[in-house]
């Protein structure tokens, strides 16, 4: 039914996700085996405010994987990499679970905070979008370890620059300059520099 | 200091979902108008995907996959290509398709809070040309409000104790530092004192985020301060 070679590149994962849209349970299992444990570690690093971090983390994995199963037909491999798509599902689910946990009575949720991009709204140049995605991944892989770790701590783990400085035992100025260098390489700098 | 986009830390925190509701909403609103920040957010999402793809792993409960599959089986089946119920975003697209230009509509992030248009909001009058209304976003750190300034109207000079972000939604306003158009993300800090004036030809509607209540600094307007307390 499918080869046993393990997907290695983002394009491979997109193909797996397209198979999931065709209701291929083996492809879904493959995706789960790779992304499930990574989603859990992502959730554990962002579990502040939850009384049981591991319960929250597995619930997030479950909810995200259900969304993957249920929404895979909406995934468009021309627009984004599979990992980017799964990351945004996880981010949105985490925001919603956090708000629920805080008993927020307001009806706002991740659909309001992150309206989906639609074609008429955003005249997407698909080739360009894919190239940008690849550039970002390559630039990220080429970053020196220290820059990447600091960036990951701020971005994925939501730490303040001060907290990162303490965690890594380096001065705050060093953290700021590492982030700045990383952002420059990723072409993520615009506007004025504070 | 004025800047017209969120800074890179704010964009990064937005893309990662690490902001409180008020700030998420303000940045989301700015992004509806700003192609440059939209492109940055896409890059940041790609970065998130890359980090996720290469993240450390944490062991999962052995039966988790089975539990997910049994839940999946209980969900209504989705056929490939079947776009089922429209999401909020798709509904927004439909409204936009009705022929109005994007910028005259309520930005998508605010549609649930402003379902019947700006006029239907419970505006409170504060002086001759300023009206204000609070938006219940469920944020314990920030107060989110809308301001509506009559054409040519002035907002009394005021200072800030905390941070104020203003996003122009309709019309334009100016102060001693410049003129601001729809989508502009105007940041004021503690040291700033300013006296915004709406452009004379049309009213100005803004979304604003405050970390602490505004203080009007003129002697007569000081009496109004109690109306502008952050409600918590
Ligand atoms: Zn912008």
Q: What's the pLDDT tens digit per position in A108-132?
A: 999 999 997 654 444 556 777 778 7
Q: What integer pLDDT is reported at residue B192 of this predicted model?
A: 66
Of chain A residues 25-54, which have a CB less than 8 A from chain B? 25, 29, 32, 35-42, 44, 46
pLDDT single digits (tens) B202-231: 999 999 998 865 555 554 444 444 444 443
Ligand 1 centroid vs A153 CA: distance in angstroms?
A: 24
Rounded distance between C-alpha atoms, residue B177 and residue A180, angstroms: 28
Kindly give the distance from the C-alpha atom of residue A133 to the centroid of ligand 1, in angstroms, as a whole number: 20
pLDDT at A125: 65
Domain housing A44 = 2-107
- Considering the domain boundaries, does residue A124 fall inside one? no
Q: A152 and chain B: CB distance < 8 Å anywhere?
A: yes
Q: Which two tokens stand for residue B86?
A: 């429209």
Q: What is the CATH number of the domain that holds A89?
A: 1.10.1740.10
Q: Report the pLDDT value the prediction gives residue B9, as an integer from 0 to 100.
A: 86
Residue of B nearest to A18 (CA): B80
Burial B187-226 (b: 16+ CB within 10 A, else e): bbeeebebebbbbeeebbbbbbbbbebbebeeeebeebee
pLDDT higher at A108 or B95: A108
Q: What is the ipTM of this complex?
A: 0.89
Q: Hey, is the C-beta of B56 within 8 angstroms of any chain A C-beta?
A: yes
CA atoms of B77 and A118, how far apart (whole Å): 24
User: pLDDT tens digits, residue range B161-197?
Assistant: 678 899 999 999 998 888 999 999 998 876 666 778 8
> At residue B86, does pLDDT exceed 70?
no
Q: Contacts of residue B111 in chain A, CB cutoff 8 Å? A: 112
User: Are residues A66 and B25, on separate chains, in Cβ contact within 8 Å?
Assistant: no
Which residue of A188, A192, A193, A194 to mutate against B (max B Cβ within 10 Å)? A188
Between positions 57 and 116 of A, the ones with CB within 8 A of B are 57-58, 61-62, 65-66, 69-70, 73-74, 80-88, 90-92, 94-95, 99, 102, 104-108, 110-116
Q: How confident is the model at residue B29 (pLDDT cuts 50, 70, 90)?
A: very high
Q: How many domains does chain A have?
A: 1
Neighboring chain A residues of B100 at a CB cutoff of 8 Å: none
**Does residue A152 belong to any structural domain of this protein?**
no
CATH superfamily of B118-228: Jelly Rolls (2.60.120.10)
Helices (H), chain B: 8-15, 21-33, 35-53, 64-74, 88-97
Partner residue facing A155 (CB), from B16, B28, B64: B16
Name, in order, each residue with C-beta under 8 angstroms of B123's C-beta and a sequence gap of 6 or more.
B131, B132, B133, B148
Instruction: Give the number of beta-carbon pairs within 8 Å between A and B.
Output: 216
Give the nearest partner residue to A73 out of B59, B80, B88, using CB atoms. Answer: B80
Segments of chain B assigned to CATH 2.60.120.10: 118-228
Q: pLDDT at position B104, please?
A: 52
Q: Which helix (H) or strand (E) holds A137?
A: helix A126-142
A90, A47 Cβ separation under 8 angstroms: no
Q: Which residues of B touch A149 (CB under 8 A)?
A: none
| pLDDT above 70: percentage of residues in chain A | 89
> Per residue in A97-106, pLDDT tens?
998 888 777 7
Largest CA distance in chain B: 69
Domain annotation covers residue A67 = yes
Q: Which of B4, B29, B48 to mutate to probe the A interface, most A CBs <10 Å?
A: B48
- Architecture in CATH of B8-56+82-110: Orthogonal Bundle (1.10)
């Amino acid at each position: 039914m499918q080869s046993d070679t393990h997907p290695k590149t983002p394009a491979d994962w997109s193909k797996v996700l397209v198979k999931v849209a065709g209701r291929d349970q083996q492809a879904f299992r493959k995706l789960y085996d790779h992304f499930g444990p990574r989603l859990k570690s992502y959730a554990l690093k962002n579990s502040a405010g939850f009384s049981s971090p591991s319960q929250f983390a597995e619930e997030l994995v479950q909810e995200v994987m259900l969304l993957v199963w249920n929404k895979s037909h909406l995934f468009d491999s021309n627009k984004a990499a599979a990992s980017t798509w799964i990351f945004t599902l996880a981010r949105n689910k985490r925001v919603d679970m956090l708000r629920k946990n805080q008993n927020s009575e307001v009806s706002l949720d991740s659909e309001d905070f992150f309206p989906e991009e639609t074609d008429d709204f955003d005249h997407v140049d698909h080739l360009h979008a894919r190239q940008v995605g690849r550039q970002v991944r390559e630039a990220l892989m080429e970053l020196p370890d220290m820059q990447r770790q600091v960036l990951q701590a701020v971005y994925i783990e939501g730490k303040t620059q001060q907290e990162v400085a303490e965690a890594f035992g380096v001065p705050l100025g060093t953290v700021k300059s590492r982030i700045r260098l990383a952002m420059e390489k990723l072409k993520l700098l615009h506007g004025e520099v504070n | 200091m004025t800047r017209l986009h969120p800074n890179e830390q704010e964009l990064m925190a937005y893309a990662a979902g690490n902001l409180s509701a008020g700030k998420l909403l303000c940045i989301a609103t700015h992004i509806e108008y700003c192609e440059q920040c939209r492109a940055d957010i896409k890059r940041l999402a790609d970065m998130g995907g890359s980090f996720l793809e290469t993240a450390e792993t944490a062991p999962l409960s052995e039966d988790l996959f089975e539990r997910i599959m049994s839940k999946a089986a209980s969900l209504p089946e989705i056929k490939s290509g079947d776009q089922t119920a429209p999401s909020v975003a798709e509904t927004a697209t439909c409204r936009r398709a009705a022929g109005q230009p994007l910028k005259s509509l309520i930005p998508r992030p605010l549609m649930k809070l402003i379902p019947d248009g700006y006029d239907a909001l419970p505006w409170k009058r504060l002086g001759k040309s300023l009206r204000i209304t609070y938006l219940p976003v469920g944020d314990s750190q920030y107060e989110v409000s809308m301001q509506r300034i009559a054409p040519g109207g002035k907002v009394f000079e005021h200072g800030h104790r905390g941070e104020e972000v203003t996003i122009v939604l309709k019309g334009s306003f100016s102060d001693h530092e410049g003129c601001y158009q729809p989508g502009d993300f105007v940041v004021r800090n503690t040291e700033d004192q300013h006296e915004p004036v709406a452009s004379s030809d049309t009213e100005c509607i803004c979304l604003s985020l405050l970390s602490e209540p505004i203080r009007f600094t003129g002697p007569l307007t000081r009496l109004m301060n109690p109306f502008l307390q952050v409600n918590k």
